[in-house]
Amino acid sequence: MIFNMAQLMKEPVGAGASFSTDIHEEQVQLDESLKVTSPVNGHVRMRRVNQGLLVDGWVDLTLELQCTRCLKNIEQPLHVTFEERFYPTIDVITGAAVQPSGEDDVFLLDDHHHVDLTEAIRQAVLLAIPMVTLCEEDCAGLCPQCGHDLNLGPCDCEPEVDARLNVLKTLLENGSQPS
């Protein structure tokens, strides 16, 4: 997801120059912990603004995640939007090094005026992953005692009893058998 933006960087700021293109990548490696199981499709728009480029767009992709309850692997489709600023490191006209802006949250074009969207999309994907991902809406999860997958049927464990009920049970037992 690398684009050479030298041409757009040569455009004067304020002229409204922009570049748009579809994104289509068969295989993308975002992160060692993020398994992308689909092609990545989307769209990106880059606009020449003061100091650099304003880059926004979206991608659709599918991640392999785990069910929060039963830990089974699941395919989670995600629609991810992003908007970032990319600043040059080299002046496209003079070839001189550009002073860093000192601003946080800014991505940099490399010294050949390339925009690499991978890191921006990786960050957007991390933010888009839901806190809870379920294989089925009513996933029964794992038995907290033996780890059996309760979607496959019950296990032989005694149901866990609420701690407050335990106190009551002890009281009743003590009451019925006074020592």
Per-residue binding string, Zn ion, 90-129, x by CB under 5 A, is: ----------------------------------------
Report the Cα–Cα distance between both ends of the chain, in Å, rounded: 77
Could you give the CA distance from residue 40 to residue 43 in angstroms, rounded to a whole number? 10
For Zn ion (CB under 5 A), the number of binding residues is 11
Could you give the CA distance from residue 133 to residue 75 in angstroms, rounded to a whole number? 10
Cβ distance to Zn ion smaller for residue 67 or 109: 67
What does the angle CA 45 – CA 48 – CA 54 come to, to the nearest 5 degrees?
55
The answer to whether residue 155 forms part of the interface with Zn ion (CB under 5 A) is yes
**How many Cβ atoms sit within 10 Å of the Cβ of residue 38?**
16
The answer to whether residue 140 forms part of the interface with Zn ion (CB under 5 A) is no
| Candidate residues 29, 101, 145, 166; the one interacting with Zn ion per rule CB under 5 A | 145
Interface stretch with Zn ion, choices 51-59, 105-113, 134-142, 164-172 (CB under 5 A) = 134-142
CB of 132 to Zn ion, least distance (A): 11
Q: Which residues contact 152 (CB under 8 A, 6 or more apart)?
A: none
Footprint of Zn ion on residues 56-95 (CB under 5 A)? 67, 69-70
Two tokens, residue 124: 């957007």
Two tokens, residue 127: 């933010």
The answer to whether residue 143 forms part of the interface with Zn ion (CB under 5 A) is yes
Cβ distance to Zn ion smaller for residue 16 or 154: 154
Q: Among 158, 142, 160, which residue's Cα sits nearest to residue 150?
A: 142
Q: Which residues contact 16 (CB under 8 A, 6 or more apart)?
A: 47, 48
Cβ distance to Zn ion smaller for residue 69 or 85: 69
The answer to whether residue 142 forms part of the interface with Zn ion (CB under 5 A) is no
Using CB under 5 A as the criterion, which residues of the chain lie in contact with Zn ion when the complex forms? 67, 69-70, 135, 139, 143, 145-146, 148, 155, 157
